Amino acid sequence: MPADSFQARVTARHVAREQVAVRFRQHAYTCDHPPELGGEDLGPTPSEFLLAALACSIAQHVGRHAARLKIPLDSVEIRADFQVGQEKGRPPLDPMAYLSRVTARVDIQGDMTREQFEKLKYIAENCVVAHSFRRGIAPEIEVAMPSSGRPR
C-alpha cells in the first residue's frame, strides 16, 4: 500500500475525571494523568502518546529501511522526552501548558559500516512524525455540537 493512501483515524471519548477511552482501528487504550495532575494513572498521558508516536515512527522507519537496504541491524531503541512550557492564556485556560521541547535519543546497534550507520541516522532523523513536526503541522480543530445537544 502506498504511504499516501494510508489514512489513520483515532477516536477518543471522555470517560471520567482525566480518563479518556482511545480507539485505534481494533485497539483500545486508556489515556490518563498521574494523581498529581488529577488522574488515576490508568494509562499514558496525551503528551506521552505524542512521544510514543515519535519513538515508534523512528523505530519503524529505521527497521524497515535497514531491511530494505540490507543493513545488519541488531536493535534500535528510542528514548523520547519532553519539557513543558506555560504561557498566559485567556480564561478559562490560564495558564496554558504546551510542549516546549521534544527530544529523542536513538541507539542503533548492528555490525555495520560507518556509511550504513549514517544512512540509518538520516532515516531516523527524517521519519514521518519527526518530519511532520519540523514542517510545523498545525492541527485543524473543528468544534461542533450535535443537534441533540444545542446550547440553550
Q: Is a pLDDT exceeding 90 seen at residue 52?
A: yes
For all residues of the chain together, what is the average pLDDT? 91
pLDDT, tens digit (0-9, with 9 covering 90-100), for 5-38: 677 789 999 999 999 999 998 899 999 999 999 9
- Give 71's contacts (C-beta < 8 A, 6+ positions apart): 65, 110, 112, 116, 119, 120
**pLDDT at residue 5, as a whole number:** 67
pLDDT in tens, 97-123: 889 999 999 999 999 999 999 999 999
Question: What integer pLDDT is reported at residue 9 of this predicted model?
Answer: 87
Residue 70 has pLDDT above 60, yes or no: yes
Confidence category of residue 151, pLDDT binned at 50, 70, 90: low
Within a 13 Å sphere around the CA of 46, how many CA atoms are in the beta-carbon half? 13
Is pLDDT above 70 for 136? yes
Question: Which pLDDT belongs to residue 150?
Answer: 61
Per-residue confidence (pLDDT) for residue 147, from 0 to 100:
73
Q: What superfamily does domain 45-136 belong to in CATH?
A: K homology (KH) domain (3.30.300.20)
Instruction: Give residue 111's pLDDT.
Output: 97
Q: Report the percentage of the chain scoring pLDDT > 70.
A: 93
pTM (2 decimals)?
Answer: 0.86
Q: pLDDT-derived band of residue 3, with 50, 70 and 90 as boundaries? A: low
